[in-house]
Amino acid sequence: MSLVVAKKLKKTYIAGDITVNAIQGVDFSIESASFVSFVGPSGSGKSTLLNMIGCLDPPTEGALQVADSDITRLDRREAARFRGENIGFVFQDFNLIPVLTVFENVEYPLQMVQNWPASKRRKRVQDLLGAVGMADQGNKYPSQISGGQKQRVAVARALVTNAKLVLADEPTANLDRTTATRIIDLMKNMRDEFGTTFIFSTHDPKVVKNAEIIYTLEDGRLKESRSGNGGHHV
Amino acid sequence: MYNIFKLAVRNLKRYKRRTFLTSMLITLGVVAVLLFVSISGSFKAMMIGQITDSMLGHLQIHRKGYLASIDSLPLNRNLNAKQVAKVEQVLADIDAVDTYSMRIKLGAMFSNFVETTNIRLNAVLPEQELNTVPLLSERIVQGQAAGLIEKGEILIPELIAKGMKVKVGDSIVLVANNKDGSVNGLTLQVRGILEGISGPGGRDGVIHLEDAKTLLRFTGVEISEIAIRLKNMNHLPQTFADLTAKLSSIKNQQGQPVFEVHTWEKLSPFFNIAKMIDLMTFFIRIMLVAIVLVSIMNVMIMAVYERINEIGTIAAIGTLPARILGIFMVEGFLLGVLGTAIGTIISLITITIMNASKISFDFGRQTGLLLAPTISAGEVIVVVLTVIGIAVVASLQPAYKAAKMDPIAALRHV
């Protein structure tokens, strides 16, 4: 069953006299519980595509469905609500809220976005922190933990709302090789445990290597789609 | 809501120095306003009390045109028996009126048998006068205060007592023209010496109404002014309106109103000082508003600017714009509450200390006035709500900016 379906998707930016065709009519579909990577050189449109899938940036043309919803015509408020209910984000710079503890950072989407009751929230956060191996670090602040630990917390935060889809923009770019591998393994385990779909944009060969489907973008066009570890070309 | 407050408190604690300095600025403004309001308000209330309760009363009724020529104390513009009766009838119908006092105002020559000078006099019925201006007896600095005055006695102002070297118990002579121009004299004994106060009538002497009638050879009732005391001074505007409406309907044969009514505000130049104090209070409040507005807005603009990336993150993970707006507005609100709370506490402690210290001051010829600053709960509440309200308003624009921020642009911000 397809979780993300894009048809003739286009994104054009206009700045004064300059028109940039960031995405030029791409078609793809991504199944539930898959581990997908968008790769390509800088400026190829990876982040733009992820932003559109994440309801952060509306497409200029084409159709885009996420979790059976047409997300091309959502207004600001509807888009925020949709993201809160369906999508988790993992950022390159971790983007944890510095004034909240590890526990509170993971709790934030349940508390401030989905308004879960306190008792239910506590259990869910504990479970997620346990799943990412951060159960004993809950009272620490982001400044007190390492980069790898921050990204684990970010993964927990992305998954805590039972998101159907997690979008990760260069999630290993700021991590050393060992930590990056652990984070990729963690995300894969999370996919296996929770059935969440992970979509990455990355330059990192480690991430690419672990992806089940790899989409290659070039100048806003989808050049190829292949399965990970030497899959077929299309 | 608790979570928004928690987040706001944590963010304020993140920038401790900035939070402290902004709060102190608001505290300073609140202290300045509350102290100014309490000190100036107490000074104003004290001066108004002095003027109304020892001299003018709250309202005065005269025959039409009397006030315009009051400097010459005309005797041909007095109220006659019929007019006085009408006024008494009107006053009896107004509940807000507590009591009133009939006065004859006159000018005379004052002689100590050696020297002569001019004196302005209020001739009164002592019981009526004491009920209407109860602080008058407190102005008697020498002599017997109780009972105010009896026939054959005079209370003389301090300046004349000093200038003419007259003491309590001395005999003096008053010489006055009646309204027909004939001259008459009356020997009186000095019963007491009156402290002078600022304003019209503040340096007048006092004699008994019957003595004035004898001196001026009045045969019937003739009254220059009727001073009125109200049960509650807050009812002054309404009572003035009622009295004016009722008395202005009484016309003479030419169809002109017979009476004129004036509040103490019209009669005393201190009202202009009181107005100036009100104006200064207003401007101090405007300054407070400006301080709060600028400082909170500045801090909140900085807070938004510094946390663009964070705003992008919370927006991306689904925080609704209204909640982002709330997070920043609560921060501004808490800054306002913190500054106001500290400022109010400092102000109230300072007011208490000032009252305990019994600070005295001089105003014009009045010396040793005791500064007793007070502030009503209402005033404090108005200042507190104003500051907190302005703090919220000041954070509205930065908070709105944060709520409207494009998550992608915010996430890209370095």
Nearest CA in chain A to B11: A99
Q: How far apart are CA A101 and CA A142, in angstroms?
A: 7
CA B170 to each of CA B111, B141, B191, B196, B215: distance values in angstroms, whole numbers, following the listed order: 11, 16, 8, 20, 19
User: What residues in B contact A57, CB-CB < 8 Å?
Assistant: 408
Task: Label residue B400 by pLDDT band (50, 70, 90).
Answer: very high
The closest alpha carbon to B259, from B108, B124, B60, B103, belongs to B60
**How far B303 CA sits from the closest chain A CA (Å)?**
13
Between chains, do B323 and A112 touch, taking CB under 8 Å as contact? Answer: yes
- Please say whether the beta carbons of B233 and B263 come within 8 A: no
- Using DSSP's 3-state secondary structure scheme, residue B208 falls into strand
Between chains, do A95 and B313 touch, taking CB under 8 Å as contact? Answer: yes
Residues B140 and B195 in one domain: yes
B19 residue type, one letter:
T
Residues B279 and B397 in one domain: yes
Residues B285 and B354 in one domain: yes
Residues B357 and B237 in one domain: no
Residue to mutate among B15, B307, B313, with most A CBs inside 10 A, is: B313
Find residue B230's DSSP bridge partners. Answer: B97
Q: Is residue B263 part of a domain?
A: no
pLDDT of residue A128: 85
H-helix segments, B52-140: 81-92, 126-132
Model confidence, pTM = 0.75
pLDDT of residue B210: 93
Q: Is the pLDDT of residue B414 over 90?
A: no
Q: How far apart are CA B90 and CA B214, in angstroms?
A: 29
Nearest CA in chain B to A47: B408
Block means of pLDDT (10 residues each) for chain A, 234 residues, are 87 87 88 88 87 90 88 88 90 89 93 87 89 88 90 88 88 78 81 87 79 87 72 38
Inter-axis angle of helices B16-51 and B2-14, nearest 10:
100
Averaged pLDDT, B273-298? 87
Average pLDDT, chain B: 89
The count of other CB atoms within 10 Å of the CB of residue B109 is 15
pLDDT of residue A45: 87
**How far B41 CA sits from the closest chain A CA (Å)?**
45
Please enumerate residues of A whose Cβ is less than 8 A from a Cβ of B.
51, 54, 56-57, 76-77, 80-85, 87-89, 91, 93, 95, 97-100, 108-109, 111-114, 157-158, 161
- Using DSSP's 3-state secondary structure scheme, residue B117 falls into strand
Residue A90 sits at φ, ψ, to 5 deg, of: -125, 125
**How far A37 CA sits from the closest chain B CA (Å)?**
20
Residues B96 and B7 in one domain: no
**How far B393 CA sits from the closest chain A CA (Å)?**
23
Residues B165 and B277 in one domain: no
Q: Is the pLDDT of residue B115 over 80?
A: yes
Residue B153 sits at φ, ψ, to 5 deg, of: -120, 165
pLDDT of residue A229: 62
Please enumerate residues of B whose Cβ is less than 8 A from a Cβ of A.
3-4, 7, 10-11, 13-14, 309-310, 312-321, 323, 407-408, 411
Task: Label residue B242 by pLDDT band (50, 70, 90).
Answer: very high
pLDDT of residue A134: 86
Residues B315 and B376 in one domain: yes
**Number of residues assigned to chain A:** 234
- Of B212, B233, B257, the residue at which a domain comes to its end is B257
pLDDT of residue B169: 93
pLDDT of residue B364: 61
Between chains, do B321 and A95 touch, taking CB under 8 Å as contact? Answer: no
Task: Label residue B198 by pLDDT band (50, 70, 90).
Answer: low
Domain housing B285: 2-51+272-412
Q: Is residue B399 part of a domain?
A: yes
Residues B105 and B41 in one domain: no
Between chains, do A84 and B318 touch, taking CB under 8 Å as contact? Answer: yes
Q: Is residue B191 part of a domain?
A: yes
Q: Is residue B209 part of a domain?
A: yes
Residues B113 and B186 in one domain: yes
Inter-axis angle of helices B81-92 and B236-248, nearest 10:
140
Nearest to B317 among A83, A98, A99 (CB): A83
Structural domains in chain B (count): 2
Q: How far apart are CA A102 and CA B187, in angstroms?
A: 98
Q: Is residue B58 part of a domain?
A: no
The count of other CB atoms within 10 Å of the CB of residue B131 is 14
Residue to mutate among A50, A95, A106, A159, with most B CBs inside 10 A, is: A95
Nearest to A99 among B11, B316, B320 (CB): B11
Q: Is residue B56 part of a domain?
A: no
Whole-number percent of chain B with pLDDT over 70: 97
- Of B257, B289, B310, the residue at which a domain comes to its end is B257
**How far A232 CA sits from the closest chain B CA (Å)?**
34
Residues B125 and B192 in one domain: yes
Is residue A217 within a helix (H) or strand (E), and if so which, with residue range? strand A213-218
Between chains, do B310 and A76 touch, taking CB under 8 Å as contact? Answer: no
Q: Is residue B226 part of a domain?
A: yes
- Using DSSP's 3-state secondary structure scheme, residue B405 falls into coil
Tokens 């997690």 label which residue? A166
Between chains, do B321 and A51 touch, taking CB under 8 Å as contact? Answer: no
Q: How far apart are CA A94 and CA A111, in angstroms?
A: 19
Q: Is residue B144 part of a domain?
A: yes
Residues B25 and B116 in one domain: no
Longest CA–CA separation in chain B, Å: 101
- Please say whether the beta carbons of A227 and A34 come within 8 A: no
pLDDT of residue B66: 85
- Please say whether the beta carbons of B170 and B190 come within 8 A: yes
Q: How far apart are CA B61 and CA B71, in angstroms?
A: 16
Longest CA–CA separation in chain A, Å: 55
**How far A144 CA sits from the closest chain B CA (Å)?**
15
Task: Label residue B175 by pLDDT band (50, 70, 90).
Answer: very high
pLDDT of residue B85: 92
- Of B202, B222, B257, the residue at which a domain comes to its end is B257
- Please say whether the beta carbons of B277 and B40 come within 8 A: yes
Nearest to B318 among A91, A97, A113 (CB): A113
Between chains, do B320 and A108 touch, taking CB under 8 Å as contact? Answer: no
Q: Which of A12-21, B226-235, B319-328 has the lowest mean pLDDT?
A: A12-21
Residues B189 and B80 in one domain: yes
Nearest CA in chain B to A77: B320
Q: Which of A156-170, B65-79, B108-122, B161-175 has the lowest mean pLDDT?
A: B65-79
